[in-house]
Amino acid sequence: MLHLIRKVLKPFTISHLAKPSGGFWGSLTVRFMKSANSQLIMSVLQSLSAKPGEKILDVGFGHGDAMCHLLESCDVRVWGADYSQTCVDSAAERFAQEIKAGRVSVDCCSVDSTPFPDGHFDGIIHANCWYFWPDLQAGCNEIFRINAPGGRMVAGSKVKIIKTEMQATAQGKALFLNSDVHQFMKCLKAAGYSDVKLEEADGGGEIVIARKDSTGSANASSDGAVA
């Protein structure tokens, strides 16, 4: 039954997956993302292993659950960047107290052009996000720029689902621009990341972990493998 519901609703919600907007379908898409991404988000956070005092950025935060988990897990400062004004407005309301206390900040911006200074974040995360980047290399370059020396980036994805379900239609192909995790890793290395690894996520999917050299320069990279 759930599969049938997803099949019926997908044509209406798929256009909102990259950038949820206001209205019924936008709200429904955010709820769908919350359910579909929950296990992947927990795998991303486990790989990140945030430490007290760190500055963490969630790119394409959507419903904001990863930010919520980060705030509950330890004493960190959390930023969120999303180019959906609907998601930013929702997060501003959800985290109003934390924003007032200086623990959270949310910005509406594109991944390839953020307002943050060089080397600002100890950790950067995103889940089911890089498929939508119009310029994959430009997005990786910008993330590398704002990641602190010695910092890390953790990305979660479900490439198999993207290739078999979401890119099965012309609408999906136009929206999900990137579905090659190895190309994503190459872009991270080209941006300057070192020690780029690929791991298997709990419940299926992939986790890409990239570390920035402590001097801020690129080092030799190594690949992991998904079993």
Q: What sign does the dihedral 90-92-98-102 (CA atoms) show?
A: positive
Question: 186 is written with which tokens?
Answer: 């190459």
pTM of structure:
0.81
Q: What is the predicted pLDDT for the residue at 171?
A: 65
Are 214 and 192 within 8 A, CB to CB? no
Q: Which helix (H) or strand (E) holds 39?
A: helix 24-48
Cα separation, 191 vs 169, in Å, equals: 31
**What are the backbone angles phi and psi of residue 83, rounded to the nearest 5°?**
-95, 10
Cα separation, 184 vs 180, in Å, equals: 6
Burial class of residue 115, CB neighbours in 10 A (0-12, 13-18, 19+): exposed
Give all strands (DSSP E) within 23-103, no chain letters: 55-59, 77-82
Pairing mode of beta strands 55-59, 206-211: unpaired
Chain mean pLDDT for the chain = 83
Q: pLDDT of 19-40, one tens digit each?
A: 445 554 445 445 545 556 788 9
Q: What is the predicted pLDDT for the residue at 177?
A: 79
**What are the backbone angles phi and psi of residue 177, rounded to the nearest 5°?**
-75, -30
Better pLDDT: 11 or 107: 107
Closest-CA residue to 95 (of 66, 123, 52, 116)? 66
- Does residue 157 register a pLDDT over 90? yes
Angle (CA) 89 36 60, round 5°: 40
**How many CA atoms within 13 Å lie on the side-chain side of 35?**
7
Q: pLDDT of 138-148, one tens digit each?
A: 999 999 999 99
**How many CA atoms within 13 Å lie on the side-chain side of 181?**
27
